Chains A and B, each alone.
Chain A
C-alpha cells in the first residue's frame, strides 16, 4: 500500500523552470499514466518521484511520509528505464539479484526469489545468459523482473515500450496490464507519449504541458470531457478538430471541438454543416480518414470501412450535436449545451 502525494512540486535547472507547482494525489494501487508532448516534464516528474532528481521546492510524500530527502533505494520504489539499463557484464540472474544482494539477504533466499520472478516472467531458461544474448522483449522482461523482485510498493515506468517494435509493443503492453492485475496493491506510475498506451493501461491519466498539469482524469473522462483545448487536441487519434469562427459562434463559444469520428460527411448542406473540398483520403480498411479543406482550416473526418468520397469532391460536414465540445476564449471547456 502506498499513496503518493505531490504538493506544489517545483523543479528548476538554474533559471530553467521545468515543473511548475505540480500537485497530484496518486492513490494506492492505482495505475497512473503521465502523458504530454516531448519536453513537457513528464520524465522529470517521474525522476523526481524516484529520487534521481532533487526537488527544488514543494513536498513529495510516499505512504504519508515526506521523502524529499530520502535516497531512491529507501523510498520503496522500483524503476524500469526506457533503455532497460541492464548491467551488461552481469548475467540475468545477477541483474535481478543485485538489489537483493545490496539489501544483504542470505544467498538461498535470494535464489528462491530470483527463481520465482524468473518463472513469473518466463525467464528461467535465460538466467545464466548475459543481456547481450537476449532479444529486446526479453531484456524488457529482465528490467521488469528487477523491479518485481524487490517487492517495491511503487513501480515507475519511464517509456518502457518505446524501444520495442510494433508487434512486441502490443504484446508487452498486455503483459504490463496483466502484471498490474496480478499486483493490485502496487501503485504504478507510467510515463509515455503514446496515447494508446495511456488509454489502455491507465486508471487515471495526467496530461502535462510545459511543466504544468493540464488535466487529471480517467481515460474516458479525458476523451469525453477534455478540460481545455490542449487536452482536447492531445487525447484521441486523429486529433480533435478545433474550429474557430462562424461555426463556433453559432453555438456560442470561441472554439468548437469535434472529433473526426463524430463528423459525418454529407452531400447536402443543412443548418450547421460546414462546406469544403476533400483534399486527401486515407483508407485503412477498417476505417477511412477524410481531410477536408474548409474556410476554417483543414478538418478531419472518420468513416467506418471504405469511403465513397474522392479527392476534390465538394462535401459538407455535419457534427453530431451530442459530441460537440465548446471552449471559451482562454481555451477552457464550457459545460452544458
Chain B
C-alpha cells in the first residue's frame, strides 16, 4: 500500500445553469494568449450534444484512453510504444483545427476608421489563424442549449449508441424534456493516458497533490498526448509548439484557494477536496476486465481517511497532518464514497478520472412538473426514475459505462433528499421510510443536504495549502505575474513604494473574498480595508473613510446621513474589520478609526 494524496473535484450537475462563467474566467486566466485561441481548459457542453472537440467521445475514431489487450493487460488504444514512435512524424489520429473551430476576432477598427459613406460600417469576422475574412460556422459551444440539435443531434456519439436500441423514443422525447450541462476540465486522472502517450516524458503527476502538468521545457511537440487523452483535454499551442492543459490552477491550490472555475461558479456546483488513494493498486484497478466494474474498482482505490491503517500509511509517505485532516473533511470523499452520489466521467476509458459528477435529477423533475405531477414527491420521483429510461440510459453511458442501476441508485438518493428535506422545510415530520428506501439514514440525508444544497464555501472547498517549509517552491511567490506588462510590472524599485516582493494577487483577492463571504456583512462595507465604497453612498454627507476622520467629524457624519448612519455604525461595531484591514497592508496610515479600532 502506498498512500498518495490527490486533489479532486466533484461537480453537482443539477446546479449547473450553463452560464459558462467558469469557461470565461478560466480562459481569461489561462488561455487568452496567442496560440491558445481555440483552447478551453474548461468548457461547458450541452448534453445531448457533440462536445468539444466535436465527437471527442467516439474513441473508435480518436483512439483515446486505454484498452485491455488479449492477455488482459492495459495498453494504449492508439497503440504500443513502437507503434507510437513510428507514428510520430504525422500523428495518425490528431484532431485538426476544424474539429475544434477556427478562432476569430472582429475587425473592430473598421468601425472607427471606415470613411464616411451611406452604409453603416461593420466589424467583419477575421480568422485568427490566417488573418483573412471568414464565415463563422462553428465554435466551442455551437450546439449550446440544443441549438441546431435537429441537425446535429445525430452526431452525439452517446446518443448514437443508445439510438441503435431506442431510436423512436429518443427522437420523440429529448427535445422537450431532456437536457443538461456538462462542465469539463482535465480529469487529472490516476492513470493518465496522455502521460503514457508522451514520448518525451514531459507530462507528470505531482507527487504531493496529484495534479497532472506538462513540463513546458521538456515537451517537444510530438502531439501524442492529444491523441492519448480520451477527453481531448490536451491542447496543442500552435504558436509555441507545445502541449498545454488545465493546470487545476495549481498556483492557487498551493496557497489553499479553489480553482478559478470553482471560485467563480455562480451555481456553486463545484467541490474541491483531496482523496487518499493507494497508488500501488491503480494499474490493477484500471485493468478490471468488465468496464461496468471500473467504477467500483476506482472507488476501492479511495482510502478511508479515518482508518488508522490508512493514516499510518499516509504518515509513512510523508503526507502532512493538515492534509490528513483535510482528507477527513474532504467534500469529494464524502460525495464519492460516503454518500456515493458522485460518478466518474467515462470510466470505460480506464484512466481513473478524478473529476467526478453528481448526475442531474432535473431532467426527470422537469418531466414530472410538465406533466402536472408533483416533482418533489418521493413516490412520483422514484417512479419516474424507473420509467424515464432514456435519460437514465444516457447518463449511464456517460458515467457508469452503461450500468443503469448505478445511475438509478444515485438519482433515487437525490430524489429522496428532495422529498425528505421538503417535509422538514414545510415543518412536517420527516418520513424516515424515504431515507431507508435508498439505504440511508435521515441523519445522512441531512448531512448530504447540507453539503449539496446549503453548500457553504468552507465545506465545498477543503484545500490544504502546500507546506510553509516548501513556501519558496511555490510558483506564485516566485512572481510568475511579474512579466513585462503584467500586473507585477513596476514593482521593481529597490526601496521605493512597491519595494520587495508583491503580495501574490490571488492571495490578496482571496483574503478579500474570504472576509466578504465569512463576515456578517455581505456587502463588505464593514470591511473596506482602507478603500472607499461609493456604491452605497446616497450623496448625502460623505462616505465613510473618504476623509481621515476625527471624533467630531465622525459624529457629524452619523447625524448627516440620518437613518443610514446607524446601520453603518452597527456594521462598524460588529464587523471583523481590523483583521482584514491589517492584512491588506497598503492602506494609508490615516484611514478612519472605524476601520482600525
Q: Do the two chains bind? A: no
